[in-house]
């Protein structure tokens, strides 16, 4: 005698269970305004990385927008990059629309960007992933400097193509600097900065902490000299 098939159970949806709190709608970019309270910032270097990644992949997840306030809740940096790529703010896009009161909106704004609530990298797995050179650093939002910070010389040597590209860009930057220096030779000696290289970011930060300077790749040389007890003197 054949076994009776178990009765089919109806598959529940996230929406029916009350956990899907958004709908997808097509909106005009002009309807999305940035939240004035948004605490997220982005440096020019980070913006450059994001732009390269979005230019490669496009927007693959929707911007989150609150119908009740008209504010962007998640995606301020991405929408800014898309404006740049589109060269206008007069376009349409699919948006994840929520409808919540302002306090919940602010909580969600933080939550959507809060790395403390989103796990961390398994560094061995990440290194193995980048062992495939077809996986580009730019497409992942990293650069060769990030690879050095995370994995050291070994990983950089394994990314020969990226290292060669980085060297090419560095050479081009050096050429540009030389041209500027020559142009300003009457006013400047052209050699007014140096580059310090540390074995790791942690060691660099240790020096900054010891000297009492802020974490920045651009530092005031006069301040460093004063910390070393040297008076550089004069206007030159």
80-125 residue pLDDT tens = 999 999 999 899 999 999 999 999 999 999 999 898 898 888 988 9
| Residue 40 contacts residue 77 (beta carbons within 8 Å) | yes
Quote the pLDDT of residue 176: 58
Dist. CA 115–CA 129, nearest whole Å: 21
Quote the pLDDT of residue 39: 95
- At 41, list the tokens: 């910032």
Highest average pLDDT, of 73-82, 163-172, 181-190, comes from 73-82
Main-chain dihedrals φ then ψ at residue 26, nearest 5 degrees: -90, 120
| Residue 65 contacts residue 72 (beta carbons within 8 Å) | yes
Of residues 126 and 229, more confidently modeled? 126
Dist. CA 158–CA 162, nearest whole Å: 9
Instruction: Report yes or no on whether pTM surpasses 0.75.
Output: no
Domain boundaries, the chain: 17-116, 123-183, 193-236
Burial of 22: CB neighbours in 10 Å, binned 0-12, 13-18, 19+: middle
Quote the pLDDT of residue 182: 57
């Amino acid at each position: 005698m054949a076994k009776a098939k178990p009765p089919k159970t109806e598959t529940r949806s996230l929406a029916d269970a009350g956990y899907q709190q958004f709908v997808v709608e097509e909106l005009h970019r002009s309807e999305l305004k940035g939240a004035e309270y948004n605490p997220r910032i982005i440096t020019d270097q980070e913006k450059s990385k994001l732009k390269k990644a979005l230019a490669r992949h496009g927007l693959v997840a929707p911007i989150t927008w609150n119908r009740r306030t008209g504010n962007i809740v998640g995606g301020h940096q991405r929408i800014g990059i898309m404006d740049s790529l589109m060269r206008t703010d007069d376009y349409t896009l699919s948006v994840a629309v929520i409808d919540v009161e302002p306090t919940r909106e602010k909580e969600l704004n933080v939550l959507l960007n809060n790395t403390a609530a989103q796990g961390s990298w398994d560094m061995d797995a990440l290194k193995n992933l980048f062992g495939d050179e077809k996986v580009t650093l730019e497409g992942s939002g990293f650069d060769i400097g990030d690879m050095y910070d995370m994995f050291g010389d070994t990983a950089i040597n394994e990314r020969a193509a990226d290292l060669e590209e980085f060297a090419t860009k560095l050479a081009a930057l050096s050429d540009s600097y030389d041209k500027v220096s020559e142009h300003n030779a009457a006013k400047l000696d052209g050699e007014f900065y140096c580059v310090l290289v540390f074995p790791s970011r942690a060691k660099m930060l240790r020096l900054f902490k010891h000297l009492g300077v802020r974490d920045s790749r651009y530092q005031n040389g006069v301040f460093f000299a004063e910390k070393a007890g040297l008076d550089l003197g004069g206007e030159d």
